[in-house]
Amino acid sequence: MEKEIIKEEREMVIDGVKEEIIEGAISAFKKYGYTKVTMQDISKEAGKVRSTVYKYFDNKAEVLNAMCAKTMASILNDCAEVISKRRSLSANIEQYFRRKLEKIRVLVVNYELLVNDLKADPSLIIIQTRCMMNEELLLIGNIISWAIENEDIKPLNDEDRAFLAETLQTAFRSFEMDVILFGRFPNYEEKLSWLAQMLQKGLS
């Protein structure tokens, strides 16, 4: 029992140090972007010696992955609060992706240098967005299931539900990148509402 307590305490310390490094990375990436930032910059912002940072992360790409995973988890939690079983499919889709876009737009402003580096290397964008794919699919799947239960749309089997969820995720991710990274669709709120309504009509 005593060994288990010691193990849990050690894990808490490890998690705490890792969290401090990620918080330091947030500051470092804001200041320097991705291309110019170094592990030394990250360790300095985190208030740790560089050897400590290397105990948890092999390179700055791993630090960025951890930072993005934390940030996107927070965004998804916030988005989950605006969807409801009581709402229609179109309302849930519109509210979910509207909130997500609002949150990401704030990040783009705060991390201007980092975003510019990501634009220059699209592979980095793909890697960072993958960290939230499974969690987001669950949320979209819930929206679809609620719509079927409420008879907003026609019944779908499990395979078609999964296909629809993945299709929506892929389509809206492309839409998000156009809006956020490339400044397309300045009136995206109207476009988003139109897309959500067309989706429900097509599935009814």
Q: What CATH number corresponds to the domain at position 187? A: 1.10.357
Q: How far apart are CA 104 and CA 117, in angstroms?
A: 16
Q: Which two tokens stand for residue 61?
A: 């790409």
Q: Same domain, yes or no, for 67 and 52?
A: no
Q: Same domain, yes or no, for 166 and 82?
A: yes
Q: How far is CA 108 from the centre of its chain?
A: 13
CATH number at residue 32: 1.10.10.60
Q: What pLDDT score does 4 carry?
A: 45
Q: Same domain, yes or no, for 40 and 3?
A: yes
Q: What pLDDT score does 2 carry?
A: 41
Q: Same domain, yes or no, for 75 and 4?
A: no
Whole-model pTM?
Answer: 0.82
Structural domain count, the chain: 2
Beta carbons of 98 and 190 less than 8 angstroms apart: no
Domain range enclosing 171: 61-203
What are the angstrom distances between the C-alpha of 52 and each of 33, 39, 48, 172?
A: 22, 11, 6, 39
Q: How far apart are CA 123 and CA 13, in angstroms?
A: 33
Q: Same domain, yes or no, for 27 and 75?
A: no
Q: Same domain, yes or no, for 82 and 145?
A: yes
Q: Same domain, yes or no, for 105 and 33?
A: no
Measure the CA angle with vertex 64, ends 136 and 107; round to 5°: 65
H-type alpha helices, 38-157? 39-46, 50-56, 60-80, 89-110, 112-120, 122-130, 133-149
Half-sphere exposure in the Cβ direction for 36 (13 Å, CA): 10
- The one-digit pLDDT tens for each residue of the chain (204 residues) are 444 433 343 444 447 889 999 999 999 999 999 999 999 999 999 999 999 999 999 999 999 989 988 888 899 999 999 999 999 999 999 999 999 999 988 888 889 898 888 878 766 666 666 667 888 999 999 999 999 999 999 999 999 999 999 999 988 888 887 887 777 888 888 888 998 999 999 998
Backbone angles phi, psi at 183, to 5 degrees: 70, 20
Q: Which two tokens stand for residue 196?
A: 């959500």
Q: How far apart are CA 160 and CA 163, in angstroms?
A: 5
Q: Same domain, yes or no, for 79 and 53?
A: no
Q: What pLDDT score does 125 carry?
A: 65
Measure the CA angle with vertex 13, ends 12 and 17; round to 5°: 115
Q: Same domain, yes or no, for 52 and 81?
A: no
Q: Same domain, yes or no, for 98 and 181?
A: yes
Q: What is the DSSP letter of 124?
A: H
Dihedral sign for Cα atoms in the order 153, 154, 159, 160: negative
Q: What pLDDT score does 127 carry?
A: 62
Beta carbons of 144 and 89 less than 8 angstroms apart: yes
Q: What pLDDT score does 173 carry?
A: 84
The residue type at 139: L
Q: Same domain, yes or no, for 109 and 50?
A: no
Q: What pLDDT score does 6 carry?
A: 35
Q: Same domain, yes or no, for 79 and 117?
A: yes
